Amino acid sequence: MINFKFILESIPSLIGAIPITLLMAFSAAIIGWILGLGIALIRKNKVPVVSQICAVFVSFMRGVPIIILLYIAYYALPIAIYNYGVSIGREIDTSTVPAVIYAIIALVLDQAAYSSEIFRSALSAVDEGQMEACYSVGMTKSQALMRIILPQAMAIALPNLGGLFLGLVKGTSLAYYVGVYEITATANLLAMPALNFIEAYIMTTLIYEILSFIFNKCFRQVENRFKRFRATATA
Give me the residues that bind other proteins (CB under 8 A), please.
Answer: 127, 129-130, 132-140, 143, 147-148, 151-152, 155, 228-235
Distances from the Cα of 41 to the Cαs of 34, 47, 125, in angstroms?
11, 9, 13
| CA pair distance 160, 140, nearest whole angstrom | 29
The SS3 call for residue 160 is: helix
Name which of 96 and 142 has its Cβ closer to other proteins.
Answer: 142
Min dist. Cβ of residue 78 to other proteins (A): 45
- Residue 62 or 230 with smaller CB distance to other proteins: 230
Q: Which is nearer to other proteins, 127 or 209 (CB)?
A: 127
Contacts of residue 202, defined as CB under 8 A and 6 or more positions apart, other chains included, come to 2, 7
Shortest Cβ distance from residue 154 to other proteins (Å)? 9
Largest CA distance in the chain: 72
We find the least distance from the C-beta atom of residue 135 to other proteins, in angstroms, to be 6
Residue whose CB is less far from other proteins, 45 or 83: 45
Please state the closest distance from residue 158 (CB atom) to other proteins, in A: 13
Nearer to other proteins by Cβ, of 90 and 228: the residue is 228
* Residue with Cβ nearer other proteins (75 or 135): 135
Query: How big is the CA angle at 76 (ends 70 and 77), to the nearest 5 degrees?
Result: 85
Distance in Å, CB of 20 to other proteins, minimum:
37
Whose CA is closest to 178, among 103, 76, 80, 97?
103
Which of these, 105, 118, 39, lies nearest to 71 by C-alpha position? Answer: 105
Minimal distance, residue 34 CB to other proteins, in Å: 21
* d(C-alpha 76, C-alpha 47), whole Å: 30
Decide: 196 and 204 in contact? Cβ < 8 Å.
no
